[in-house]
Structure 1
Amino acid sequence: MSWLRLFYDRLIFPRPVVILLLFGLLLVIASLRLDQFRLDASAESLVLEDDRSLEQYREVNRRFITSDDFLIVTFTPHEELFSQEGLTVLESLRDELAALENVSSTNSILNVPLLHSPDLTLDTVDSEIKTIDGDDVDPKTARQALLNNPLYPNLLISKDGRTTAIQVNLPTPERYFELLHERNELRDKVDSGKASAQEQQRLEAVSREFIEFTESQGEVRDRTIDNVRAILDSYRNRAEIHLGGVPMIVADMIRFIKNDLSTFGIGVLVFLLVTLAIIFRQWRWVLIPLLCCSFTVWLVIGYLSWARWPVTVISSNFVSLLLIMTLSLTIHLIVRYREFQHDAPDAAPRETLRNTLLAMIKPCFYMAITTIVAFGSLTFSGIRPVIDFGWMMTIGLAVAFLITFIVFPALLSLLPPPVDERVRSDRIPFTDLFARFTENYGKTVLLGSAIIAVLCVIGVSRLSVENSFIDYFKSSTEIHQGMVTIDDRLGGTTPLDVVVTDDKPPESDGEGDPFASDCDPFVEDCDPAEEYRDTWFTYQKMNRLEKVHNYLDSLPETGKVLSISTTLDVLAQVNGGEPLDALELAFVPSAVPEDLQDILLTPYISEEHDQARFGIRILETSPDLRRQELLDRIRNHLTGEMGFEDDQVKLTGMTVMYNNMLQSLFDSQIKTLGVVFLAIMIMFLILFRSVTLALIGMAPNLIAAGSVLGLMGWLGIPLDMMTITVAAITVGIAVDDTIHYIHRFKTEFEKDGDYIATMHRCHRSIGQAMFFTSLTIITGFSILVLSNFIPTIYFGLFTGFAMFMALVGALTLLPRLIVLIKPFSVPG
């Protein structure tokens, strides 16, 4: 420790102003790029590191000219919808939305073809199509035409005809896909080791350009959504209106996170400061922790801004966690400083500060490095945002430790605190009650811990990984209400695409000739080997696709299902209600007018790639929604009952990407916790140089982590992209208390070799610091329950519960095991 004494005596204590000025310069540099700090809730932030579903999703969207880049405005007028007044209000709203700068087009019951006319047939469909916008159609006739059309009910209009939807299209510029494609190609080259130095440089440039373009598009989209909301507000006195759609879900998630980072970040800090003021009753012990916490968060945010490292839904809690960790370090220093003041009230402030730093730097370093290992284990997850979160916390904890042991002593050198009456007091602190309870009821402690462990195991076994986007938002929020309305009346929220590929044609001389065999595929059920394969529009293929459509539509979790079968139903209606015969099927591509191709054909059939698409909307409000089970059921039915090969069936869309991440959570959680406990066990062996002490130290950590996961299981709260981090956070918190307590116990035990007396002394000293830390954090994080973002509420509640369980375990189970096993050698 001699070099540490020299470091403080020659560098920190004599020049505190210089140290703080240099540090202030560092803060200024960090703040130069704060405008680059950004949040990311894009599709890429919700997928696995090596998940190709996002690429498949984009490929399907481009191949079938479909997109989920649109907003849905639900419109339920106070008056009758299909009246002159109701349609006039709808038209006015539609026109205002369509006039927005970044809206490419809108779809509504006003401009879609009614496909209802006495003279309408397959031959006259091009000339007899009518719309509410372009023709003088009686409202009641229009209502009947829309509700009788297989395409529109439960999509653009509710089945009762009272609610309709306006689809507001927000197209993604082609430049986005160009940059994305180039970046991914270069990434693959770099990952495979085949990239040249020039290509590596180009990757960096393209990546920066892609980030800048994405950010600019995000800003444009946010402005557009704000403008849409402003327009809707002006119509709410005439109709019940809700806003939904994938872009809105993303925008609102970012909005809630930003609000939580600012409002609740400040709120948490205020709660923490009030608690510190009540506990210590000296302004120095409020100001100095405040500055240390603020500097830590400021520097880390500055670094993320300079590195252009986005914060995602998962890593958005890093600010709160850095406050916890920095505050924990400073409180331990404050309590130890006051202990030295109590023992030697006449000592010089610098001597007291030096003793505090030298006594606490070792356990605090152990605490920091072990917690870094705990959070660093998140980098073993396969989920990109979780990996980023692990690295952010690793960097943040290192910064927190350095600030605590450089800035804290510099500030305290300038502001030495007086010895107050509370420091001079010899009263026994509240924490000694835990020591007395542990001493007198040791068996109860062990039995209670065993019962909790059993309950934890049962609770963990009940954990699930299912969740819906709707569960992230309170029922009072617009986004929640919009999802409910869209699910109940307009066919579902989250998109799922099922794409099937046609059978490959066998090698034969008659390939491409529909009459090369004796079987007529237009009217007969031919053997697949003899089927005419140059088109989807044969009787057999359409019949098979219809069976797939009917199956998907029959599932309770699905809302609206659209496919080529929907188009054929529409054309059958045009055909006088008669299904198309085999010959009419063959001429469907040429019979559909060109201006209807993008509505009736292109989204469902890709002749070029021999693929057919089924567009499904999943009911997020369904209480029985189990994504993985649903996807497995669909795939098994298509490959088993329907006879498709496995490589002929592709499931994609936001539902699949989100599910892939959810289903990785169990594996990721087991892997993460396994790595965490293994790493902590190794760290304990290094720190304490005793297998027995390492095992004793693991016990409260296991109980704390198991309690949080077990409670989630008992309460039916699923693992999701937010709660996955709770267990690792809990371990990181519990480790702090364990290390501090064991280190102090070892130091105190050397005085008299009495385990019971040592336990009481530890509870009155380090136990008090642990209690103050836990009380402050639990109180501070209680404000998070006021958030509108449910994951933030869970984070606040589970963080508080984790602190409580870690404290109780460290003050009861840990000392009981030490007293029972007696791992220390009695001093000679």
Structure 2
Amino acid sequence: MLNLIKINHAFHRMAETIVRLRWINILLFFLITGFCVSGMKHIQFDTSWDNWFLENDPMKIADDEFKAIFGNNEYVAVLVEVDDVFAPEVLTLIRQLGAELKARVPFSDDLLSITDGEFTEGTQGGLTISDLVPDPVPQSREVLETIRAKALSRELFVNRIVSDDSRQTWILLRMKTYPDKWRNADNIGPDIAAGTVASKIIAQAKYASLNPRGAGLPVLAFDKTAFFKKETARNMGLSLIATIIVLALAIRTLTGVVLPMLIAASSIVITFGIQGYLGVKIDPSMILVPIYLGLAVAIGYAIHLFGFFNRHMAETGKRKPAVFFAVSECGWPLLFTALTTIGALLSFHFVPVRPIRWSGSTASALVGITFLLTLVLIPSVLSFGKDRKPKKGKAHAHTTALLNGLSSKVLARPTAMAIAFMSIFILCSAGLHRFEVSFDIIKSFGLKIPYVEKIFHVANSKVGSLYSYDLTVTFPEAGDAKAPANLDTFAELIREAEGYELTKRVTSLIPIIKDMNRSLHSGDDAFHTIPENRQMVAQLLLLYENAGGAEAEKWVDYDYQRLRMQIEMGDYNSAKAKRELESLKAHAQSLFPDATIGMAGSIAKFTFMQTIVSRGQLISFAIALGVVTLLMMLVFGSIKIGLIAMIPNIAPAMAIGGLMGWGDIPLDMMTITIMPMLLGLAVDDTIHFINHCRLEFQRTGNYATSIRRTFNTIGVAICMTSVIITANFSVYTTSVAKVYVHLGLLTGIGILTALAADLFVTPVLLLKVKPFGKETATDSQFESHAA
């Protein structure tokens, strides 16, 4: 069993050394921080979904194979909404907009629109393929009405390129395969670079009459990055202001406000600066958890240290002895909390996803650096200054008196506390059965975000869509894709996909073949079918190729061994999408038992990634909880203490899980990160409480007295830490983005739940279980001695 009194003496000696070398400590701090500031200039952001997968991940391998054959399946799209698409001035602007997009957008490939798309017609010699709208755009109303009639007669055009009421049209710019590791002069990846240029083109005043709305993943990546860059800066600014205000009210000294913020900022600079030098790529969507955790930990560590320093300074007026006392009392619990938090965060490495592993490593590094800076920099700075006269009044005397009264009430009514806790536990457990593991853009982000409202407007149009994914069928032999039986079965698979709830439409080779067959037979609808023999299919495809057709190349490979379909979605919920993708793939395998079925596209990857991350984080949380419990058992040498420590650490997860269930908040890649973050924060106060309670028990030999002294000694610090962190996150509830509202609400409730568990549940468990051994004194006996 650890002798905490001896450990505190060791930290006392360490504090003396730190103060003796204070000038060196401060100089090294500024040198290291300055060096790392320069490293932050080299930070690289990567928003590609490829960055989420490990190199040997089956999904990444399948997607790479797809791109090698069919190229990039991403596109930039524009929804045009006018009174009449076939007005000459509208068609002229559409052609101009399409041409400008193709000329200026990086990695642009081919363009598909009402003015730039293949229109197939039969002739005596076979087939002719030309643009539906001649160049220049005809001005004759009669000619334009003929063009309208042609467009609305073809399945390939109606509610795909132009709406059936001629009020909407869709401009589609396909993208070339992005080069590996490509960055532009602004250190931006290819998708955002393409989305940036496209958005600027679409927003030009000359196209305003088209009422254009950009879509496609490159535009979405640009819009999302721009919005969250601005919103994150706003929220972090408000968060810092709230933190400074509450810190000032809590510690009431300029040093007490500046030092914690300086340590938090410098820890972030050092960690990210080193990563900049090492060339580590960072996904901006995962950067929040390490930063928020680092800020919260820095504040928590500083408050505990300042609490003991201010207390001893008020009692004795001696500055350096107050520094030594603070480090001796806080050093060991701070070290232990840092180790347990790091151990919990390293459990992220059990999730086979790069950014999640990065998040765990980065947060662990932040905690470690924050601990070192807290233990070295704060004592070094606090040691400067003159001694003061002791103060008779005690800082936070009113709060301390309230906590003393609270400790007496908790100890007097342990059964009532246990019943209340179990009642809340049961209520939260019921809520856990109600929440779903999914990403739903409406529930997770909300329509108050401009770009979310835009993409849903596009998705609800007749020609636009929200997202898309691809399915491929690879046959055993080259040429099998020409077999009518395979084409008919593929058409059956398309009908299956079209029946899914999330599907908007499906694009493939099938309608192209049917359209060619009908065109070859003078537009007779009876021939809008797949030919009955292989030779006829081969002849159609040869005539199509000789006529200059190129669209079919997007849907069948050169050897006619692979068929591709693209499923566009009008809505998205990752849980539903996963069921539909798995169902479609299973159905395809049953229809083509000898073929290889593949899924590709960013949304397919995201859908399966959502499941991997959510499950992985839950497993990671369980492992982290086990690590914390095991460390408690090993360090305190008691299984009982380890099990007792689990209760306040499980309580926040149960509380937010129940709230998410009752509040219909989905468990997605954003909200799932709150649980491990809360564990990292909650364990700190639990360790401080149990450690100080055990220290007091070694001094007094009585549980009730030890618990009262613990409330009196660190109760204020624990409450302050929780209030400051809650205030820090509460500002996020003012955001228009639901993801930030959820972050602020759930984190605040989780922190307050952890505090309640530490103050109301942990004391009862310690009193009833008696994990530190037998009592050697009675409560009344000690009180009489104290008197």
TM-score, length-normalised on structure 2? Answer: 0.89
**Which of the numbers 202, 206, 215 marks the counterpart of 1:232?**
202
Query: Is the alpha carbon distance of 1:473 and 1:110 closer, same or farther for their aligned partners in structure 2, counting shifts above 3 Å?
Result: farther
Indicate the SS of the match to 2:472.
strand
Query: Is residue 122–residue 591 contact of structure 1 (8 Å, CA) maintained in 2?
Result: no
C-alpha deviations, 1:672-714, integer Å up to 9, x for none?
1331122112111122111222211111112222222232233
Report the secondary structure of 1:649's partner residue.
strand
SS, match of residue 81 in structure 1: coil
Residue 275 of structure 1 corresponds to 246
SS in 1 for 2:657: helix
Counterpart position of 1:102:
106
The farther-off stretch of 30-39 and 248-257 is 248-257
CA spacing shift, 1:307–1:20, aligned 2, 3 Å: same
Change (3 A) 1:693 1:42: same
Is the 2:191–2:221 Cα contact (8 Å) retained in structure 1?
Answer: no
Q: Which residue of 1 aligns with 2:312?
A: 340
Quote the residue 1:720 is aligned against: 668
**Corresponding position of 2:331:** 361
Deviations 1:540-566 (A, max 9, x none): 232222222222222222112011211
Distance in 2 (alpha carbons) for counterparts of 1:75 and 1:416:
72
Matched, 1:481 2:458: no
1:198 — aligned with what?
Answer: none
Range with bigger deviation, 294-303 or 786-795:
786-795
Whether 2:222 is the aligned partner of 1:251: answer yes
Q: In 2, are the aligned partners of 1:696 and 1:814 still within 8 Å (CA)?
A: yes
Given residue 423 of structure 1, which amino acid in structure 2 is its aligned partner?
A: K
Q: 1:787 to 1:223 in 2, by over 3 A?
A: farther
Give 2:714's aligned residue: 766
Matched, 1:36 2:45: no
**In the aligned structure 2, how far is the partner of 1:424 from the partner of 1:545?**
77
Q: 631-640 or 390-399: which moved more? A: 631-640
**Secondary structure, aligned partner of 2:407:** helix
SS in 1 for 2:553: coil
Equivalent position amino acid for 1:809 in 2 = A
**In structure 2, how many angstroms separate the alpha carbons of the residues matched to 1:229 and 1:758?**
64
Amino acid at match of 2:421: S
> Which moved further from structure 2: 590-599 or 51-60?
590-599
> In structure 1, the residue corresponding to 2:170 is in which secondary structure?
strand
Q: 1:498 aligns with which of 446, 471, 474?
A: 471
CA distance 1:154–1:217, change in 2 (3 Å): farther
Contact 1:473 1:479 survives alignment (8 Å): no
- 2:781 is matched with none
Match of 2:652 in 1: 704
Equivalents in 2 of 1:25, 1:570: separation in Å?
Answer: 71
Q: Which residue of 1 aligns with 2:16?
A: 9
Judged with a 3 Å threshold, the aligned counterparts in structure 2 of structure 1 residues 788 and 307 are, in CA distance, closer, same or farther, namely farther
Matches within 5 A, 1:298-337: 298-312=269-283, 313-337=285-309
Task: Report the AA paired with residue 584 of structure 1.
Answer: M
Cα distance between partner residues in 2 of 1:646 and 1:469: 37
Distance change (3 Å), C-alpha of 1:161 and 1:747: same
Q: Which SS does the other structure have where 2:76 is aligned?
A: strand
2:584 to 634, 639, 651: 634
Cα 1:150–1:625 shift into 2, 3 Å: farther
What value does the CA root-mean-square deviation take over the aligned residues? 2.8
Change in Cα spacing, 1:792 to 1:482, as seen in structure 2 (3 Å) is: same
For residues 231-287 of structure 1, the C-alpha deviation after alignment (integer angstroms, 9 at most, x for no partner) is 333347524332221112333343344335544333322211111112222212111
Q: Is the 8 A contact 1:107 1:166 kept in 2?
A: yes
Q: Which residue of 2 aligns with 1:206?
A: none
Task: Kindly provide the amino acid, as one letter, of the partner of residue 707 in structure 1.
Answer: A
Report what 2:541 is aligned to. 589
Pairwise CA distance, 1:584 = 3.2
CA contact (8 A) 2:479 2:559 kept: no
CA gap 1:814/1:442 in 2 versus in 1, 3 angstroms: same
549-558 or 372-381, which moves further after superposition? 549-558
Report the more deviating stretch, 272-281 or 100-109.
100-109
In the alignment, does 2:775 pair up with 1:826?
yes
Measured in 2, the distance between the counterparts of 1:171 and 1:425 equals 65
How far is 1:799 from its partner? 1.8
After superposition, residues 411-430 of structure 1 pair within 5 angstroms as 411-414=381-384, 423=394, 426-427=397-398, 428-430=400-402
SS at match of 1:466: coil
SS in 2 for 1:496: strand
Instruction: Tell whether 2:498 aligns with 1:553.
Output: yes
Structure 2 Cα separation of the partners of residues 244 and 420 of structure 1: 66
- 1:624-663 → structure 2 map (5 Å cutoff): 626-640=576-590, 642=591, 644-645=592-593, 648-663=596-611
| Aligned pairs (5 A) from 1:125-164 | 125-126=127-128, 130-133=132-135, 136=138, 138-164=143-169
2:242 and 2:643 mapped to 1: Cα distance? 36
* 1:147–1:451 Cα change, 3 Å: farther
Give unmatched runs, 5+ long, in structure 1.
181-209, 505-532
Task: Tell me the distance in 2 between the aligned counterparts of 1:796 and 1:724.
Answer: 14
1:57 maps to 2:63? yes
Conservation of the 8 A alpha-carbon contact between 1:627 and 1:655: no
* Partner amino acid, structure 1, of 2:630: I
Percent identity over the alignment is: 21
Per-residue CA deviation, residues 315-343 of structure 1 (Å, 9 max, x unaligned), is 4321111001111100111112222234x
Q: Deviations over 1:55-101 (max 9, x none)?
A: 32232233134x23321121113x43221233233344334434426
The 10-residue stretch of structure 1 (212-221 or 131-140) with the greater mean CA deviation from structure 2: 212-221
Tell me, in whole angstroms, the C-alpha distance in 2 between the residues paired with 1:422 and 1:133: 89
Instruction: Give per-residue Cα distances to partners, 1:513-566, cap 9 Å, x unaligned.
Output: xxxxxxxxxxxxxxxxxxxx7453333232222222222222222112011211
Q: What letter is aligned with 1:597?
A: G
Determine the structure 2 residue equivalent to 1:196: none
SS in 1 for 2:394: helix
**What is the deviation of 1:784?**
2.1
Deviation at 1:588, TM superposition (A): 1.5
Deviation at 1:439, TM superposition (A): 2.8
SS of corresponding position for 2:214: strand
**Cα distance between partner residues in 2 of 1:650 and 1:780:** 46
1:598 counterpart residue number: 550
Q: State the number of aligned residues.
A: 753
Aligned residue type for 1:606: D
| 2:780 matched residue in structure 1 | none
How far is 1:594 from its partner? 4.8
Distance of 2:571 and 2:333 partners within structure 1: 48
Give the drift of 1:156.
2.5
For residues 705-759 of structure 1, the C-alpha deviation after alignment (integer angstroms, 9 at most, x for no partner) is 2222232233232222222222212221221111000111122234444433332
Contact 1:380 1:672 in 2 (8 A): yes
User: SS at the partner of 2:567?
Assistant: strand
Contact 1:315 1:388 in 2 (8 A): no
The amino acid of 1:814's aligned partner reads T
Report the CA distance shift for 1:429/1:97 in structure 2 as closer, same or farther (over 3 A): farther
CA contact (8 A) 2:574 2:610 kept: no
CA gap 1:487/1:359 in 2 versus in 1, 3 angstroms: same
How far 1:403 moved relative to its partner? 0.4
Give the C-alpha shift of residue 816 in structure 1: 1.2
Distance 2:237 2:574 in 1: 39
* Residue type at the aligned position of 1:246: L
Q: Describe the SS at the equivalent of 1:555.
A: coil
